[in-house]
Structure 1
Amino acid sequence: MCPLISLNNCTVTRNGSRLVGPVSLTIERGKHLALIGANGSGKTTLLRLLRGEFPPDGGGIRLYDFGEGEQSSALGLRHRIGLVSAELQEYYTLHAPRTSGRSIILAGFFDTPLLYSTPSPEQEAQADAIINTLGIHDLADADLGTLSTGQMRKLVIARALAPRPDVLLLDESMEGLDAASREEVRSLLDKAGNISTLVCAAHRIGDVPETIKQTVVIEGGTVVVSGSRQHIVDHLGERRMELMACDLPDRQLRDTYDFLLRLRHCSVVVGGTRILHDINWTVLPGENWLVLGANGAGKSTLLKLITSEVAPYADDDDGIGTVERLGGLTVDEARPRIGVVSPALQINYARELAWEVTALETVLSGYRGSVGMLDQPTDEELEGARKWLKHVGLDHLSERPLRRLSYGQQRRVFLARAMAPAPALLLLDEPMTGLDAASRGVLLGLLQQLAESGVPIIMVTHHAEDRIPAINRVMTIENGRQAFVGTLEEYEKSASH
């Protein structure tokens, strides 16, 4: 049987830099494949090469054969090769907040981001079948702008599955999903393996569905080892990451505050839907908080409330809620003293600056709490920004535009941006999303150092294992309401019962 897709000695070069190759790879029907590699290893570029979005450089051979004979171009085959990617999800967040979930699922039949054609009755029925399988009727009826990252991911997966492609390419498909959602998606992909041949790119082998038995490791755009899952686990277990030996950059002393945050009777309504219900929460000096909750629980909206991206809703019973920051500073006074890492911030950069700013400029903007550079940085700020880029392992990419960095590398740049100004409070919204295991380990270590140096941290996540040892307070949110607020010890006792 001929391979569905074959690569023979293929390379991909862009702007004078080789991104992939030389690589030889075959995708055979029913033989699912996992691509494991760190951020920037070339996984995403390899998927785009497989799908036909990038041509191979001269000398390489790429062939497709879906039963109608071999061809070297993907022209006319895009409906046979589905794709799930963070970039597509970001497109919807940026450009289609008022589009319905069902509409983008149907757009998958036409390989267009939005629905420009009238679907046939058969396509409508096929979309309904996927919606039923995933159990996402509520998401299909909702506007995209009201959905969480995890909810959006489910829709993008549904969109890719709806046309029943021969090959389904998955680029970090589990990132941004809570434990329950990951299990749902794994179960779905196990079923999808009976329909499509899966090619799953990930930096955590645990994110690869069990249906996938064959695995290759990608480093520097080439295959360095291949074999069974267990063989790869053994290989990765023997590897050691060279940690950065430099000291944590000096932290300027900040003013002390009687309280860091004080929220009273805060509710938030977005698009007519109440996202948060009567939140009462005080954060004091010396406290480091872990905020836990499933996708769509309201965690990210809580951080937007703190950063004044959304305002409290005027509740009939409690009036308008209040948000006080850093002992009562105004929003403008508090903004440059609160470091933020969030998917929303990355999206703002994409929307307003089209990713043309460099990694160094992005970190420097953290000193002003702005999107992009507002004025010339001082020599001290330049030195601090470069130190933090070095700490997140990206000093060699300081002059590279954000658009030329991988998603995981972009996230590390935004972590450096938040850390550089020595914030009085650090807000982290799923900070480890998009990072491979080695990068997560380094960044968790840096966050622990920050906490030990006196920077209060609020970490929002659905990965409880991503918490740092300095966490001593926990709040859980369920359906927009506080389900638990207390010490870590109290939380662990309640969770064990």
Structure 2
Amino acid sequence: MSNHLISLNQVCAQVYQDYLMSDLNWQIEQNQHWVLLGGNSSGKSALSQIILGQAEIISGELTRHTKQLACISFEQQQALIEAELKKDDADILDVIAEGTQVETILFEPNANQPLDLDLADKLTQDFEFSPLLKRKFRDLSTGETRKLLLIKAFINCPDLMVLDEPFDGLDAKSAQQLQQTLTELSGKISMVFILNRVDEIPDFITHYAYLKAGQIEFSFAKSNQAAYEQLMQLLHLQTATLTIPPADAPVSYSINPKQALVKLTQAKVVYDEKVIFDKLNWQIMPNQHWQLTGKNGSGKTCLLNLITGDNPQCYQNDIWLFGFQRGSGESIWQIKQHIGFISNQFHLNYRVSISALNTIISGFYDSIGLYNQPTRNQQKIAKLWLELLALSDKQDTPFNQLSFGDQRLLLIARSMVKHPPLLILDEPCIGLDEINRQRVLALIEKICTSGTTTVIYVNHHAQDKIQGINQFLAMEDYQSY
């Protein structure tokens, strides 16, 4: 049998609707572990689609000598969520769709390979996942969903595993556990990593590949120190001066500097008799920037959704927002006009085909999609944001045809475009390469010092600190054990 698990020989392939990769020559051998690096839209995820057999081979030869392939990616996570959402269509039959139980998804039989139940038992304990097995899938947080997919992939006993940003959405403890698990299984499974963060590269990696504009620019073994130094130079960011585009004047609201933007008193969220958090008192004053911390499932997103009104329990709590008491007759738009927002769940829900330019403009109207005729000034401002994010050449590209990283940048710009009094950034840097991650962090720092916007920032990476954020709320302080 060939030592090559995957072999690409002069392959030209069509990926997605309009992404073409050509002249691909690459081999993955047994006991090799690769990391694919490069900027957003460089072709990293597209290359993974090719080796997974999810692209149209136009010419050349792709051969696979694998018994079982596994993949972890944002797209896979999104597909599983959308499959669950389709079950809601059962309401046309007057049936309440309860959703699939987590353990049903985890232990779905594999026709090609028996599941490793001993490993399943170990990993559910290692990732503190056992208490979630009886839960409904749709009740899992983003990080908990990622853990489910990881454990499911491992226990299916693959001989090759593609991991596209596997650490995204995991808290620090879970990310550390994943690094340990990957190391333990690296002797049995060959792995291909797609990573934007150099600091997440596992120690056992044997080979690097750098991609640019749909091409493998170069690849080399880890032992080639000269090539490694060249790669680090390519990834190094030369920080440019950033100027935030102006707001669309005039704004239709004013903020009292002595009045809390947000005030929660004894806040509590409960799901299926499980208390997510309780007795939470929080007051956010203008220009008081906060970082929200806590492990996966601790209730960070639940808390933010109380503020945005996307959690129905917001009406069961004592919440004041911008001078309105929640549930006192205010409209959802009276609240949303004051807020800019980006999160993993919002990204998943933004399933529209409008252009990149109109995606940013939709932030002026707090809509998913664009249903208003924008002003010339709004178009001008949105184009300035595209220029700032180096996406001007994709102005007319449909949102759903862009790479995940480019989509993320657009949604961040959308959240900031109206210079909202309150900007909620729930893990904004997920899916961004090193250059764009640093660019976004610098943008957030600029926003913090602008004097017009208060920031709430959620992040699992200690190195992604924002200068100007000096208030901290730890969700662990409000949980019952």
Letter in 2 for 1:87: E
TM superposition shift of 1:17: 4.6
Letter in 1 for 2:45: T
Counterpart in 2 of 1:205? 198
TM superposition shift of 1:335: 0.5
Change over 3 Å in CA distance of 1:16–1:242 after alignment to 2 = farther
Which of 230, 236, 243 aligns to 1:235? It is 230
Which of 242, 247, 250 aligns to 2:243? It is 247
1:106-121 equivalent positions in 2, closer than 5 A: 106-107=107-108, 109-110=110-111
CA RMSD of aligned residues (A): 2.6
TM superposition shift of 1:228: 4.2
Partner Cα distance (1:195, 1:175) in 2? 24
Matched, 1:95 2:83: yes
- Tell me, yes or no, if the aligned pair for 2:15 and 2:50 is still in contact at 8 Å: no
Partner Cα distance (1:289, 1:133) in 2? 31
1:131-142 equivalent positions in 2, closer than 5 A: 131=124, 134-142=127-135
1:166-245 equivalent positions in 2, closer than 5 A: 166-229=159-222, 233-239=228-234, 240-241=236-237
Partner Cα distance (2:399, 2:367) in 1? 16
1:56-455 equivalent positions in 2, closer than 5 A: 56-58=57-59, 60-66=60-66, 80-96=68-84, 98-107=99-108, 109-110=110-111, 127-128=120-121, 131=124, 134-229=127-222, 233-239=228-234, 240-241=236-237, 247-251=243-247, 252=249, 255-257=254-256, 258-312=259-313, 320-328=316-324, 330=330, 331-350=332-351, 355-454=352-451, 455=453
Which runs of 5 or more structure 2 residues have no equivalent in the other structure? 86-98
- Tell me, yes or no, if the aligned pair for 2:15 and 2:49 is still in contact at 8 Å: no
Question: Percent identical across equivalent pairs?
Answer: 28
Partner Cα distance (2:441, 2:109) in 1? 38
Q: Deviations over 1:447-479 (max 9, x none)?
A: 111221121111012223223111121111117
Counterpart in 2 of 1:490? none
Give 3-state SS (helix, strand or coil) of 1:366's partner.
Answer: helix
Matched, 1:462 2:453: no
- Tell me, yes or no, if the aligned pair for 1:269 and 1:313 is still in contact at 8 Å: no
Change over 3 Å in CA distance of 1:132–1:444 after alignment to 2 = closer
Partner Cα distance (2:347, 2:416) in 1? 15
Q: TM (normalized to structure 1)? A: 0.84
Q: TM (normalized to structure 2)? A: 0.87
Give 3-state SS (helix, strand or coil) of 1:440's partner.
Answer: helix
Partner Cα distance (1:93, 1:480) in 2? 29
Change over 3 Å in CA distance of 1:29–1:108 after alignment to 2 = farther
TM superposition shift of 1:285: 1.3
Partner Cα distance (1:287, 1:212) in 2? 42
- Tell me, yes or no, if the aligned pair for 1:11 and 1:20 is still in contact at 8 Å: yes
Give 3-state SS (helix, strand or coil) of 1:339's partner.
Answer: strand
Which runs of 5 or more structure 1 residues have no equivalent in the other structure? 67-76, 112-118, 315-319, 484-497
Letter in 2 for 1:442: R
Counterpart in 1 of 2:39? 38
TM superposition shift of 1:15: 7.9
- Tell me, yes or no, if the aligned pair for 1:19 and 1:220 is still in contact at 8 Å: no
Change over 3 Å in CA distance of 1:108–1:363 after alignment to 2 = farther
TM superposition shift of 1:423: 0.9
Matched, 1:13 2:14: yes
Counterpart in 2 of 1:474? 472
